[in-house]
Structure 1
């Protein structure tokens, strides 16, 4: 049994928790979630969820859950032994339960070891010229739109396009398929929300069928015409690991390529758009960073801390334990709130200030066995984009506050209008 500090404050009222969650999904809550995270954190480091389970709000408690070996992801085995297995029966939910982020040891260990460090220094150095070229072309498009119309939507022209071009090139996805992949990815993520509605699950189910068709065909085509690309390398590896069982190898390869694609698109696009918005929100920030480009990496990390692309992640207690003074029974679900944790004043002083030179820390990429595989690539994309944007658009301004999708798990800006 382990403990992290003592939980403070009164036992929260169920209605108060529901009120905060409802407001987090509202347009106002999407635009300004910080006060709502503070409300939840004031209820305690571990807050009972209205439907069972707990929200974890404090930095140290969240860190313990993310890094601790006695905390698991909600895999299929847990879903089937739980009291409400029907809750997990939707097509999209079941499909995502097979991807890397929903696997525990030994399956997770085996796949993660096979992947190795996907984006180590050598690989990133090889990818950097490609990313720089993608950014140049996208900023050309942005510049043209600004010249013609006087205003442009950064999200649709740049923010969502850079990740799909980068990952698409890496996996060998044809350029003409990028718009299709983006569309079905945006629709599929409903299934990964905290409490998806029946209509959202129906949308996710159809998107899941399309993803399955696309990435199953991708693996089949690459198997027929192998090369020196990443997917061909994975095919060779898993054929050797699973000799005589091509069906199992292809199924694993489908889940792997599908997951790495959609995970990269949603989170990286949000990081890029959020970073630009936070810098443009105060014109002095944009100007200061333009004159001090050596701090671009720090600005990216502060954007990751201030408004993380994923607001919530879920873990399961492997054993009876105590977290922040609260007894947690085996198999209980806990929801790690990244935004609340990153704004914990016990870890980051004056957390609601956007401070590029902040010496603090964040949990946005997770921790432990499930630390984000694409963290280094996301940072490379953001660094490259800001470096070129600050140089090419010194007078860039926001034309309107961004708009957001009504989500609680995967953050998404749907529009960010800019002008010069």
Structure 2
């Protein structure tokens, strides 16, 4: 890490950043981070972090980091070279660091190639009818709750259930197991917070044990009774790539577990926040209902305005200069997706939710680690929004969303709606 000279100016700047980060982690900051993004960006495109490393706030600099191959993810090799032992050696962190999102070349390239075009047009077409049917059934449940109680919780009734239903059907995971997978996924992501507490790491460690057992057993059972499903095809692929059966099964467990849990919370949050921002903007729900051709543009704006993942981390693969700052090899840079998406130099009037904006966003990342499930998330969002516009012409939020107390993986735990 780069050492800081503790001058008066540096101390003042450090205190300012600490205060801004405390605000970002507060309930108010979780619910509405936009003023804090502005204040952080006012400190510069690259802001020194109090614990070492930097916070990247500008769109262009974040885009450069995501796409430049010299910026790496903090993999196990990097973790072994750094001293934050409580966090990096925690069981949940170690386990996730073996999955696709925390691999660098060449291991990352090998796993990505083994998956092929994961959600190509053919796959999405095959999934579309199931997604539409699932949306219809879940909205039936929501409508029933609204009829019976006057309100219904979009987050718990629809948003959280649609992604697990989609990925569960695709991987042929028994539907009776879906609630268990959701629960342990919610607990596991604590380890991926920016500065997780010991309690959060302990909760994540317990969830990781359950995830490991469940998906290891799933791979073992599918190997015993292979079919024409996705996991069975991956098993055949990795048996050709890896002669060591135990190593192949370990990779298959990591891939299946990662793709499953990565598809859940992020998409669920997108579905809830998308509807929330549409109904909270006066007249917008009705205008979009009259012009459904703008549904995809509305999804893009929801992704820009309120990204489900608010922060990600890269490390310098070599000494470099970034925004005029000398960055040493292995230094961390934290990409603030929300701040970048609201950079007025790229998206004018960024705090206005405008479905006709045609703006730019980095919500799905970029470069080698561009989100594998981006097209699937869009498919689910499109199906849900189109059907909701048709079925609930006077939809409104009863109260603002309730959020989990997290800074990185944004999660809506409740969103009460009425029609």
Identify the TM-score tier after normalising by the shorter chain: over 0.9
CA RMSD, 1 decimal: 1.2
Residues 2-401 of structure 1 correspond to what in structure 2 (within 5 A)? 13-243=13-243, 245-401=244-400
**Cα pair 1:17 1:40 within 8 Å, conserved:** yes
Mark the runs of 5 or more structure 1 residues left unpaired by the alignment: 1-8
- From the superposition, tell whether residues 87 and 181 of structure 1 become closer, same or farther in structure 2 (CA, over 3 Å): closer
SS of equivalent residue, structure 1 residue 234: helix
Q: Hey, what's the Cα distance between the residues in 2 that align with 1:149 and 1:409?
A: 34
In the TM superposition, what whole-angstrom CA distance separates every residue of 1:12-38 from its partner, at most 9, and x where no partner exists?
711111111111111111111000011
* Alpha-carbon shift at residue 406 of structure 1 (Å): 1.1
* Alpha-carbon shift at residue 239 of structure 1 (Å): 0.7
In the TM superposition, what whole-angstrom CA distance separates every residue of 1:82-134 from its partner, at most 9, and x where no partner exists?
24445411110100100000000000000001112111111111110010000
In the TM superposition, what whole-angstrom CA distance separates every residue of 1:342-366 from its partner, at most 9, and x where no partner exists?
0000000100100000022000000
SS of equivalent residue, structure 1 residue 335: strand
**Cα pair 1:305 1:364 within 8 Å, conserved:** yes
SS of equivalent residue, structure 1 residue 401: coil
Q: Hey, what's the Cα distance between the residues in 1 that align with 2:38 and 2:348?
A: 14
Q: Hey, what's the Cα distance between the residues in 2 that align with 1:17 and 1:242?
A: 47
Of 114-123 and 179-188, the range deviating more from structure 2: 114-123
Mark the runs of 5 or more structure 2 residues left unpaired by the alignment: 1-8
Q: Hey, what's the Cα distance between the residues in 2 that align with 1:355 and 1:119?
A: 28
**Cα pair 2:304 2:361 within 8 Å, conserved:** yes
- From the superposition, tell whether residues 324 and 11 of structure 1 become closer, same or farther in structure 2 (CA, over 3 Å): farther
SS of equivalent residue, structure 2 residue 326: strand
SS of equivalent residue, structure 2 residue 264: helix
Q: Hey, what's the Cα distance between the residues in 1 that align with 2:271 and 2:112?
A: 26
SS of equivalent residue, structure 1 residue 308: coil
* Alpha-carbon shift at residue 173 of structure 1 (Å): 0.8
Aligned to 2:6: none
Q: Hey, what's the Cα distance between the residues in 1 that align with 2:41 and 2:269?
A: 24
Aligned to 1:3: none
TM-score by length of 2: 0.97
- From the superposition, tell whether residues 12 and 248 of structure 1 become closer, same or farther in structure 2 (CA, over 3 Å): farther
Q: Hey, what's the Cα distance between the residues in 1 that align with 2:414 and 2:373?
A: 24
**Cα pair 2:29 2:36 within 8 Å, conserved:** yes
SS of equivalent residue, structure 1 residue 13: helix
Q: Hey, what's the Cα distance between the residues in 2 that align with 1:20 and 1:191?
A: 22
Q: Hey, what's the Cα distance between the residues in 2 that align with 1:115 and 1:140?
A: 35
TM-score by length of 1: 0.96
SS of equivalent residue, structure 1 residue 36: helix
Q: Hey, what's the Cα distance between the residues in 2 that align with 1:278 and 1:199?
A: 33
